[in-house]
Structure formats: C-alpha cells, structure tokens
Homo-oligomer: A and B are copies of this chain.
Amino acid sequence: MAQDKVTSVDVARLAGVSQSAVSRYFTPGSSVSKKTAEKVREAAKTLGYRPNILARSLITGRSRMIGLVVAYLENYFYPEALEKLSTALQAEGYHVLVFMASQTAGNIDDVLAEILDYQVDGIIMASAALSSELSTRCQAAGVPVVLFNRRQDDPSLTAIGSDNVAGARALADFLIAAGHERIAHIAGWEGASTQRDREAGFREGLAAAGRELYARELGNFEPETAREAARRMFDRPGRPDAVFVANDHMAFFVMDVLRFELGLSVPDDVSVVGFDDVPPAAWPAYSLTTVRQRANRMVEETVSALLELIENPGADAKQIALEAPLIVRKSARKPEGWAS
C-alpha cells in the first residue's frame, strides 16, 4: 500500500518546530540554528522526508529541469551528446526532460509547446530548428533556448556548434593535396545548417584550387538514402575518386556499398571522408578520415551559455563555432610526404 506522502508539516510536527524552519533547513543559504537544524535533520530522516521539487518550483519559478529536443539517436553523435549534456547538467543540479521530435515529422511546434507546459528553466534544441513563432513564445515565457549543433540566422538565438565551414574546407584541401581528380559529395538533409555550411566550406576549398564538384547526390542523413546515393554515384564509368560524405553516420554506409557491393577498395580506388568523428569512425574496420566535432567542448559551452541565460535573463545571445580539427585515418589517400 502506498504510504501517505510525508510533507514538511509532518517533519515540523515531529521536530517540534515550525514548518518554515523545515523549509529553511532544506533551502541552501537560509539561516537556521544548529539546534533547530539538528532536530529537523533527525525528524526528516526518521520520516524519510525530502522536499517536493514541483511544489517548490511553483513558488520559486524554477523547476531545475531543462528540456532537450532531440531527433535521431541513430546518428551516434547524439547519444554521446545526450549523455554528456545530461551528466554536466546533473552536476549543476538540473535534470533533462527529453522530447523526441523529428524535423520532418513536423511536430516540433507541438513538442515545444508541451515542453513549455512543464515549466522548464531552459531548452536545448539538439535537432530541428525553431520556428520564429516558437522562438517568440519561448522569449515571452522567459525560457532561454540554446541551439546545439545547428544555427539559425537570428542573432538573438544562442547557438553552439563547430566551425563546419572551416572543417569541410580542410577536408577539401586534404583531398586536393592528395591529388584527387574527381571529387564528389553526398549531401545530408539540406534543411540543416550543418549540411549547408559543410557543403559551402567544401566547395570553397575546391574553388580555391580552381576546381568544382565532380558529382553530387543527396543522402539526407539517412542510411538507405545514402546507400542509394552511393550506388548511383559509383556504379558507372568515370566514377569519382574521392567523396566527402556529409556526416560519419552516412559515410559508414557509403563505405560499405563501395567495398562490399561494388568491390572497390577504400582508399585505393576511392577516398572517403566524413564529418563528426563519432566513435565508430575510429574502429579499424572503417578508420574514417573525418573532422572532429569536439563534443566535450560543445557540451561545456552549451551548459555554460544556458546557465548564464537562466541566471541572467538579460545576457546577450552568442554564437560559437568551435574549431573542428581534421582527423586523418586510413579511408582517404594521404598527400605525398604527409607525416603519418
């Protein structure tokens, strides 16, 4: 049988103090005498009392919950981010309320409305964009939002991500230096800022060498679509000798099509490079040359930006693009004389 909930009143009664004394004991920074504290501590312990966070939040206006909107956990960049975000926030006394939402399912707005219903202190958008209407609503509700791994052309929105342009540019430079002639691209979903920035940076690198994309297919960040893109791109004469796949997640499927369906050698026949540096990229079966998104740094910046916004609602929005280093492994031919 579910025992009755024990409240601060019960504790107060047992301890022989007022209910506010109990509240004070559990409120950091409140002043209670040693004597009272001891009585409360004891009574609370025997009763197994702990403050009701929800009741507290009703009056303080802080729920100590952060809404996290996330979509594709199949892209292993996100589980990693989720784990780190959750742990970091937990260390600060916050907890993550998860909302699954896919951009394409078009339910973002509903989901965001629900989040707001829970009176979260802040929101992290780790997938999908914010309609300007919702953005306004959050603003109105006084709930700060930070975009994780995406950005929007709205200077009032805080966004933390990598320098996708520079990262992809480095990939292009690397491929060109290695002497590749027919350089292609398998793109992710074009609604994503990461895709647009990566492609822009990559093209910029090609252009700087007086080159352009030899071929381009759409992979949409989805395994099956990426596989089909790879087949269309490579199963014909005059195939590319290098391909930049817009993220590692797709790159694995592309590599597998090349090696196991088409019998091509990577990197001897074709070089493959990706973006993100998710854990499997380092697995020897792939050994993918890619650009690292520094998840730890991204999480740190996201958490600190969010807490800053929560504590200081007037704080300025900021956009951060972290440096994203090239990670050279074996899936792409290296330029001559490249230090191993």
Contact = CB atoms under 8 A, between A and B. Distances in A.
Interface stretch (A113-121, A178-186, A233-241, A299-307): A113-121
A338 interface: no
A279 B252 CA distance: 12
A52 B283 contact: no
B3 A141 contact: yes
A100 B87 contact: yes
Contact of A48 (B55, B97, B140): B140
Interface in A247-295: 252-253, 255-256, 259-260, 279-280, 283-286
Interface stretch (A71-79, A147-155, A156-164, A204-212): A71-79
A54 B142 contact: no
A95 B120 CA distance: 12
Q: Give the interface size bracket for A toward B.
A: 35 or more
A97 B117 CA distance: 14
Contact of A73 (B5, B58, B80): B80
B50 A58 contact: no
A24 interface: no
Nearest to A257: B284
B117 A50 contact: yes
Contacts of A255: 285
Contacts of A253: 283
A215 interface: no
A16 interface: no
Contact of A58 (B58, B78, B80, B252): B58
Contacts of A96: 97-98
Nearest to A280: B280
Contacts of A87: 100
A294 to B, nearest CB: 17
Nearest to A119: B54
Nearest to A67: B95
Contacts of A97: 65, 95-98
Given A2-B141, A96-B98, A100-B90, A119 B52 contact: yes
21 contacts: A2-B139, A2-B141, A48-B137, A48-B140, A52-B119, A53-B117, A54-B118, A54-B119, A65-B97, A73-B80, A86-B98, A86-B100, A90-B99, A95-B118, A97-B97, A97-B98, A252-B285, A255-B285, A256-B283, A260-B285, A280-B280
Interface of A: 2-3, 5, 48, 50-55, 57-58, 63, 65, 68, 73-74, 76, 78-80, 82-83, 86-87, 90, 95-100, 113-114, 116-119, 137, 139-142, 252-253, 255-256, 259-260, 279-280, 283-286, 313
Given A95-B98, A280-B280, 11 more contacts: A2-B140, A5-B141, A48-B137, A51-B117, A65-B97, A74-B83, A79-B82, A90-B100, A95-B118, A252-B283, A255-B285
